[in-house]
Amino acid sequence: MNKTELIDKIAEQTQLEKNKIALVINSFLDTVTESLSKHESVTLIGFGTFKVRRRQARKGVNPQTRKEMTIPATDVPVISFGESLKESVAKKKKLKAFITSAVSKGKKAAAPVAKKAAAPVAKKAAAPAKKKK
């Protein structure tokens, strides 16, 4: 799922305008990026924690010249996932989305629309094998 598909899915579930959802998602991403650039962690309970980890300097090999080189130390963003997300993925269960806050103008968000069950597909009878002459 990419960002556009995420926006479409949230719009479908909340019945909010896509441009407002895009604004919120972009603001979220900017805020997380800004916090990480300041080496502050961002924790979303049940989902995960975004943080910065220091990668130590190490020795490596240049694949073109085969010469040994030193790779400098650097800071890298990491995410450690929360237990409930790990359990949900491991058990292959869908997370239930509960929208508890009121949407604009005091209207409550609609519950996620249940997907219609796919009609069972009848198995085709195997065609009789042709006899070789």
DSSP class of residue 60?
E
What pTM value is reported for the model?
Answer: 0.62
Confidence of residue 50 (pLDDT cuts 50, 70, 90): very high
Reported as a single tens digit per residue, the pLDDT across 67-122 is 999 999 999 999 999 988 888 888 865 545 433 433 444 444 444 444 444 444 44
The 3-state DSSP class for residue 19 equals helix
Token pair, residue 104, equals 């604009």
3-106 fold? HU Protein; Chain A (4.10.520)
DSSP class of residue 92?
T
